[in-house]
Amino acid sequence: EIVLTQSPGTLSLSPGERATLSCRASQSISSSYLAWYQQKPGQAPRLLIYGASSRATGIPDRFSGSGSGTDFTLTISRLEPEDFAVYYCQQYGSSPTGFTFGPGTKVDIK
Amino acid sequence: EVQLVESGGGLVQPGGSLRLSCAASGFTVSRYWMSWVRQAPGKGLEWVANIKQDGSEKYYVDSVKGRFTISRDNAKSSLFLQMNSLRADDTAVYYCARLRGYLDCWGHGTLVTVSS
């Protein structure tokens, strides 16, 4: 099973700042089958990025994903007030037999 | 509009059973794999089960194998999760989601609480 580690656990930033979130896999993820989700309190997760770097429908271009192999990054170029949330990465290289999520990174207001 | 709506959650005693439902609309359910994902209070996301378009393949996380059963009724655009022998650590919000490797559409979730 591929284990995902996200860092930092919490990121404290101000609106307008740049956020860089890391997701590291215990082994190489085939074909960059890595997705990112945003979750706000009391809400379901929302897909942001799939295939490591493709934005989902309706996602603003301030969100971008990069990386390959075992190291992936989600970047929010300029934080908007609505971006303060928890972000999860997910690997789906083994889908549909199963997949795993990272533990999440909380982006909160400094 | 693509929409998933879960129902069936509630309070159940340890060892009890519960059946969750997920009603889909806005897309042709029979064309997609579907998933259940859960989130314990204050914790992260955990994949629970996947089911193929025609129901012929099903996969489960080890912790629910033999206790949970995923199923679907494409004619009714519905997904189900039968949960038996429930334990306290099954307490969570359960989400159904459309699976494309990644999960591109999620329901709002239904809370299952296992407690005496």
Judge whether B101 and B55 are in contact, CB under 8 Å: no
Residues 6+ away with beta carbon under 8 Å from A42: none
What are the pLDDT digits (tens) for A6-47? 999 999 999 999 999 999 999 999 878 999 999 999 999 999
Residue A97: closest CA among chain B residues belongs to which residue?
Answer: B59
Task: Pick from A90, A91, A94 the residue to mutate for testing the B interface (most B CBs within 10 Å).
Answer: A90
List phi, psi (to 5°) of A24.
-120, 135
CA distance A48 to A70: 19
What are the angstrom distances between the C-alpha of B58 and each of B50, B54, B70, B97, B111?
6, 10, 7, 15, 23
Three-state secondary structure readout of A16-58: CCCEEEEEEECCCCHHHCEEEEEECCCCCCEEEEECCCEECCC
What are the pLDDT digits (tens) for A42-86? 999 999 999 999 999 999 999 999 999 999 999 999 999 999 999
Task: List per-residue pLDDT tens for chain B, 116 residues long.
Answer: 999 999 999 999 999 999 999 999 999 999 999 999 999 999 999 999 999 999 999 999 999 999 999 999 999 999 999 999 999 999 999 999 999 999 999 999 999 999 99
B40 and chain A: CB distance < 8 Å anywhere?
Answer: no
CA distance A46 to A23: 17
Interface of A with B (CB under 8 A): 33, 35, 37, 39, 43-47, 50-51, 56, 88, 90, 92, 95-104
CA distance B112 to B95: 11
- The answer to whether the Cβ–Cβ distance between A101 and B44 falls below 8 Å is yes
pLDDT at A94: 84
